[in-house]
């Protein structure tokens, strides 16, 4: 074993090992130094709870995170970390919605409606996730459910209707040519970029 510049070299191919370590240390430090954190949107989801959408700005674009109860977690409810251009960040009717364009053709995001505690006493955001070719057009808040409405411009693939609807009561979205009756819903237009 040999120590070079404070690194212990164990590998027999010392040149390759040192090259990899130096590359990784330069890559990691460069990414960290070039990042800035922005507070994009605060949203009171209950009288006691507030969720904040943060963006870690790097060379890859915006990487969204959620902050609540002194916890910072990846913003996507599946725990995934994605980077791209934030095209929507808004607080509507005590819910936080954001959308990220991370490369053609999809825009992905979440509607965060609350914070719940798991059996392991871990606090996690609650809501639902979406991924389509267009950003959401509106959120409909009803007494028993929430609808996310996305206009289906191209009508390709499995979606053949004018609209794609995400419903908080269902596990999968569906396409339709007509929107549900607006009675019983509070409708919030989103005006995404």
- Assign 115 a pLDDT band (cuts: 50, 70, 90): confident
Contacts of 60 (CB under 8 A, 6+ apart): 83, 84
pLDDT tens-digit map of 61-109: 999 999 988 888 899 987 788 899 999 999 999 999 999 998 777 899 9
Q: What is the pLDDT of residue 171?
A: 83
Report the pLDDT value the prediction gives residue 8, as an integer from 0 to 100: 38
Interacting residues of 124 by C-beta distance below 8 A, sequence separation 6+: 73, 77, 115, 116, 117, 118
Look up the pTM and report it.
0.76
In this model, does residue 5 exceed pLDDT 50? no
DSSP letter at 180 equals P
Please state the rounded mean pLDDT for residues 45-69: 90
At 161, is the secondary structure helix, strand, or coil? Answer: coil
pLDDT tier for residue 22 given thresholds of 50, 70 and 90? very low
Number of other CB atoms surrounding residue 145 within 10 Å: 14
Asked whether residue 20 carries a pLDDT value surpassing 90, the answer given is no
Q: Are strands 2-4 and 163-167 parallel, antiparallel or unpaired?
A: unpaired
pLDDT at 36: 83
C-alpha 77/C-alpha 129 separation (Å) is: 7
Q: Which two tokens stand for residue 126?
A: 């609650």
pLDDT of 117-175, one tens digit each?
A: 777 767 778 888 998 888 999 999 999 999 999 998 776 666 788 999 999 998 889 99
Position 52 scores a pLDDT of: 95
Report the pLDDT value the prediction gives residue 30, as an integer from 0 to 100: 45
Give the 3-state secondary structure of residue 142: strand
pLDDT over 50 (residue 50): yes
* Top-ranked range on mean pLDDT: pick from 32-41, 53-62, 66-75, 179-188: 179-188
């Amino acid at each position: 074993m040999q120590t070079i510049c404070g690194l212990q070299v164990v590998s027999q191919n010392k040149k390759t090992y040192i090259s990899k370590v130096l590359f990784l240390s330069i890559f990691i430090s460069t990414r960290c130094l070039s990042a800035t954190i922005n507070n994009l949107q605060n949203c009171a989801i209950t009288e006691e709870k507030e969720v904040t959408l943060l963006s870690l700005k790097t060379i890859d674009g915006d990487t969204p995170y959620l902050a609540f109860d002194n916890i910072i977690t990846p913003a996507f409810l599946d725990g995934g970390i994605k980077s791209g251009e934030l095209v929507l960040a808004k607080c509507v009717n005590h819910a936080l919605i954001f959308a990220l364009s991370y490369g053609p053709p999809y825009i992905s995001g979440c509607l965060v409606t609350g914070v719940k505690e798991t059996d392991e006493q871990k606090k996690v955001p609650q809501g639902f996730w979406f991924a389509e070719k267009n950003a959401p057009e509106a959120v409909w808040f009803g007494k028993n459910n929430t609808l996310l409405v996305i206009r289906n411009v191209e009508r390709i693939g499995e979606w053949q209707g004018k609209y794609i609807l995400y419903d908080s009561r269902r596990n999968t979205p569906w396409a339709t040519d007509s929107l549900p009756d607006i009675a019983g819903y509070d409708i919030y237009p989103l005006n995404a970029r």
